[in-house]
């Protein structure tokens, strides 16, 4: 986002150079992420009467602020995870969230010392190395959809029987790759069609979250 935003709008609406406040922006991003917020930047550019917009149009934009998405774990999730552990099931989280948000979620569900592997790190290691790391990793953060499948395959090759729960289009390849694929009744059709099991009861939701959306302007002086 910062790469395509040479300008930022401060709290009084003035346009200033982004590089003069980049440290403040990064600091706020990290603060919100550490609190468990998913942070999205919002930017704008006056396109005038230009009829066609494409990737090249994403330039010379003005950063306006953040959108914060807060997804707290549902009540009862600690008991659910403890029950899974008693049954011999090891829980691993695969998420597109950044590692700071993932670490906060991990603390909230009783895993303060979780080992985290990011999508960037995944791209830099071989399949053989992932075979070893996957078993030792609790949370895979900042992952791309195709990396989910790679993680599942590595865990299976490491000798685990893998169950995967997903409800989106970007979960389909991982659902296909797992030993047991699980989705929910509210999932997209292609995820339900790919799953071995579709959960209909609300007991599933103890492993999900509720979204609360908050808008915030950048606190730039």
- Domain locations in the chain? 2-71+212-217, 77-207
Q: Which tens digits make up the pLDDT trace of 25-60? A: 999 999 999 999 999 999 999 888 888 888 888 999
pLDDT at 19: 93
CA 8 to chain centre: 25
pLDDT at 209: 38
pLDDT at 161: 95
Mean pLDDT, rounded, for 175-203:
90
**Structural tokens at position 75:** 């009540």
Q: Which uninterrupted H or E stretch holds 198?
A: strand 197-199
**pLDDT band with cut points at 50, 70 and 90 for residue 72:** confident
In angstroms, the CA 121 to CA 105 distance is: 20
8 Å CB contact between 142 and 134: no
Q: Please give the torsion angle defined by the CA atoms of residues 159, 106, 84 and 128, in that order, rounded to the nearest 10 degrees.
A: 0
pLDDT at 201: 75
In angstroms, the CA 64 to CA 43 distance is: 5
CATH architecture label of 2-71+212-217 = 3-Layer(aba) Sandwich (3.40)
8 Å CB contact between 215 and 71: no
In angstroms, the CA 155 to CA 136 distance is: 10
8 Å CB contact between 128 and 139: no
Q: Which tens digits make up the pLDDT trace of 81-100? A: 888 889 899 889 999 999 99
Write down the CATH number for the domain with range 77-207.
Answer: 3.40.50.1000
- Continuous H helices in the chain: 22-34, 77-86, 99-108, 119-124, 127-136, 145-157, 172-177, 189-194
**pLDDT band with cut points at 50, 70 and 90 for residue 195:** very high
8 Å CB contact between 167 and 187: yes
Q: Supply the pTM of this predicted model.
A: 0.79
pLDDT at 221: 44
Bin 76: left if φ > 0, else alpha if -120 < ψ < 50, else beta: left
Q: How far, CA to CA in Å, does 194 sit from each of 17, 88, 160?
A: 48, 25, 21
């Amino acid at each position: 986002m910062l790469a395509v935003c040479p300008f930022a709008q401060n709290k009084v609406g003035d346009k200033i150079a982004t590089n003069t406040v980049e440290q403040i922006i990064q600091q706020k991003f990290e603060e919100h992420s550490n609190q468990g917020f998913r942070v999205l930047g919002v930017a704008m550019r006056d396109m005038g009467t230009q009829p066609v917009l494409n990737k090249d149009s994403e330039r010379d934009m003005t950063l306006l602020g953040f959108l914060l998405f807060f997804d707290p774990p549902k009540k009862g999730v600690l008991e659910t995870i403890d029950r899974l552990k008693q049954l011999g099931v090891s829980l691993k989280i695969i998420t597109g969230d950044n590692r700071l948000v993932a670490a906060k979620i991990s603390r909230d569900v009783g895993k303060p010392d979780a080992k985290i592997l990011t999508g960037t790190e995944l791209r830099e290691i071989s399949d053989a190395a992932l075979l070893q790391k996957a078993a030792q990793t609790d949370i895979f953060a900042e992952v791309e959809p195709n990396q989910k499948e790679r993680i599942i395959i590595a865990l299976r090759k490491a000798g685990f029987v893998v169950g995967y729960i997903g409800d989106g289009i970007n979960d389909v390849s991982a659902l296909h790759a797992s030993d047991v694929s699980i989705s929910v009744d509210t999932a997209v059709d292609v995820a339900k069609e790919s799953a071995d099991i579709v959960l209909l009861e609300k007991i599933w939701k103890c492993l999900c979250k509720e979204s609360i959306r908050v808008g915030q302007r950048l606190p730039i002086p």
